[in-house]
Amino acid sequence: MPEWPRFGNAPISEAILDIRVTLPPYVEVQRLASFQNPIRARYPLSRRRTALPTDVGLREGGVQVVPSTTVSDGYLFSTEDRLQTVQVRMDGFTFNRLKPYDRWTTFRDEARALWALYREVARPERVTRLALRYINRIAIPLPITDFSEWVRTTPEIAPGLPQNLQSFFMRLEIPYEPIGGLAIVTETIERPEGNRLPFLLDINVITRGDLSTDDPYVWDAFDRLRDFKNEIFFKSVTDRAKELFA
């Protein structure tokens, strides 16, 4: 496994480890509530995963609120500080970590322990998809003369056109044969905050398959997805940007 540099001020605003599954037909969403019992001390906050509860629109000539009919598909359990959340759903399991992010092994090992618990409660039959997503929020000092001083993959405006950029949203899908995976890389900018421009580098690496739930390949695959994700991150930012994370 390659060694990756570790930053004291990593720009990761959220790390997400996601496993999609097929559950046996006898499992109902209420059963997933018991997932919290053994972890209640560490994950005391609980919420049902629901749709946005209402819709507003024109109905019979006036503005009306229409209650949503979508039912819950699972639960979210969070730590007291809300920095870690585990989602247990009918279609899978997700572990979320918000900033500050410590390191891969800490993140993966917590996810792995929670996944073992999910297997006990939900009895998934098959794993169908693995994904690792890191949302990086890089605060670039203003003024910016050229994005390429900070990021290596940038939108390019045709020569001869005005080169000023007020906003952009760029999405790349990059297949990667060695692990049978796909990276979805999204770049965009948010409104400036003081003299900084938040630049979002969102890297989502995915692999699909039909795996047994106790297959050691699941965690080997996550290690490989993480390497692929890091490859993308470290090759996407410049040394000047890396100085911001030291």
Partner 1 sequence: MSRYGQIREPRTLSDVLKDEPYVEAGEDLGRATELEHITRAVERIRQSYEKSVALTDRRRFVEKAFEMYAQLWRDDSTYASSIGDMIQHPAYQAIISLGDEAVPLLLRELERRPDHWFAVLTAITHENPIRPEEEGDIGLMSRAWLRWAEARRIW
Binding site for partner 1 (CB under 8 A): 13-14, 16, 18, 47, 51-58, 63-65, 67-68, 70, 73, 85, 87, 94, 96, 98, 133, 135, 169, 191, 193-194
Is the Cβ of residue 82 or residue 240 nearer to partner 1 in the bound state? 82
CB closer to partner 1 out of 202 and 231: 202
- Give the residue with the Cβ less far from partner 1, 61 or 216: 61
Residue 244: CA atoms inside 13 Å, Cβ hemisphere, count? 19
SS3 state of residue 15 = strand
Q: Smallest distance, Å, CB 135 to partner 1?
A: 5
Cβ 42 to partner 1, closest distance in Å? 17
HSE (side-chain half, CA atoms, 13 Å) at 131: 22
Smallest separation (angstroms) from partner 1 to the CB of 14? 5
Contacts with 213 (C-beta within 8 Å, 6 or more apart), sequence order? 21, 119, 124, 125, 126, 127
CB of 191 to partner 1, least distance (A): 7
From the number of C-beta atoms within 10 Å of its C-beta (0-12, 13-18, 19+), residue 235 rates as exposed
Quick one: 55 or 120, whose CB is closer to partner 1? 55
Angle at CA of residue 15, ends 11 and 19, nearest 5°: 160
